[in-house]
Amino acid sequence: MIWLINPITLLVVYIIYTRSSGLFLKLITVIGGLLDIVVNLSWFTVIFADIPQELLLTKRIERLKKSSGYRGWLANQLCKLLNYFEANHCV
């Protein structure tokens, strides 16, 4: 089951979320929210080498965008990716 909980799965669920509506949107929102929390607190703690101050990855990315070095660069790239699928998701 651990192979299912990873950043790529989170991205796929996010893309589905941006293209969903109605009852399916609500289901994807719940699944995506839980996956977001788990991936943020596990994978992205290692990737960013940063203790999380936020539950959700987007909020963490928004904070780290202002950082210098690889954290800021990576946060900016991830923000661009999120905004590609949903305008102004990451500000």
pLDDT of residue 91: 87
CB 76 within 8 A of CB 65: yes
Count CB atoms within 10 A of the CB of residue 38: 13
- The span from the CA of 20 to the CA of 64, in Å, is 29
Largest CA distance in the chain: 41
CB 71 within 8 A of CB 50: yes
Q: Give per-residue pLDDT as tens, 65-78.
A: 999 999 999 999 99
Which pTM value belongs to this model? Answer: 0.89
- The span from the CA of 54 to the CA of 82, in Å, is 17
Q: Give per-residue pLDDT as tens, 24-52.
A: 999 999 999 999 999 999 999 999 999 99
pLDDT of residue 16: 96
**Confidence category of residue 4, pLDDT binned at 50, 70, 90:** confident
